[in-house]
Structure 1
Amino acid sequence: MFQDRYFEDYQIGEQRQTMGRTITETDIVIHAGQTGDFYPHHMDREWCKTQDFGQRIAHGTLIFSVAIGMTAGAINQLAFSYGYDRLRFIKPVFINDTIHVRVTISDKREHAKRTDHGVVVEKCEVFNQHDELVLVCEHLLLARRRTPTTSI
């Protein structure tokens, strides 16, 4: 599905929300294998029983990856990901927690060097099934302008 949107089409304050996705033990094991992060916080159930959270926690990078993937919907051929800023892991996510994501357009600004594109900032907030904030970041989207600016 394609949904072409120019820089000018994005409105500060507009939101979208994803459906939920449950994080499984399989997700954690596969992520550990892909990244090499086999820390006991993620892998050792018995050791985790002696720690503050009392159970294994999902990798923050797993939750980030899954959450961002959940926000990918329509393909916009006029924009592409420019990176992520201000990533924070707020609360742990446990096996069998269900996450969902709210994306809010929080800012729009000129690009420092490209007059034919602007930067759209999407605030991505990830919540668990209790509506507790577990992760937040800013997604920077480089979006083509309908009409290039005359100067930076």
Structure 2
Amino acid sequence: MKGTCLIVYASMTGNTEEIANLIGEGILQAGAAVDQKDILEVDVKELSNYEGILLGAYTWGDGDLPDEFLDFYEEMDSLDLTGIRSAAFGSCDSSYEHRGRAVDLLLTKLSELGADIVLDGLKIDMAPTSAEKDQCIQFGRSFVESSY
């Protein structure tokens, strides 16, 4: 068995949670273990216990992280994630100027903390279509294949 990955996400309408579930499915298909937690159910210190971290958030307002992610995001500054594989994903709305900016903010934070960004951020408009569902599963598979 390969290492264990952690998926942490914030979801208001269920779209980001669905994306997280599909990515988790891909991680399992690739032979790794996965723990999946809502942002409100995880302590930031847990990130250091995993070989792979995937953070997911929808973009709120004009390109912001959701309110429920803000404390966690700030608490991340206390971490050293050097050598930990990471990626970010989220649901977006292309009608906004800063489409999926929450994903970009998460990738920047992970990088600043020394994490290895192994995939480009995955941005899905609203709920994933059937083709995008396959893309999400492949994202999970690719995360494991590029990480271990």
More strand by proportion, 1 or 2? Answer: 1
TM over 0.5: no
More helix by proportion, 1 or 2? Answer: 2
The higher radius of gyration belongs to 1
The TM-score, its normalising length taken from structure 2, stands at: 0.25
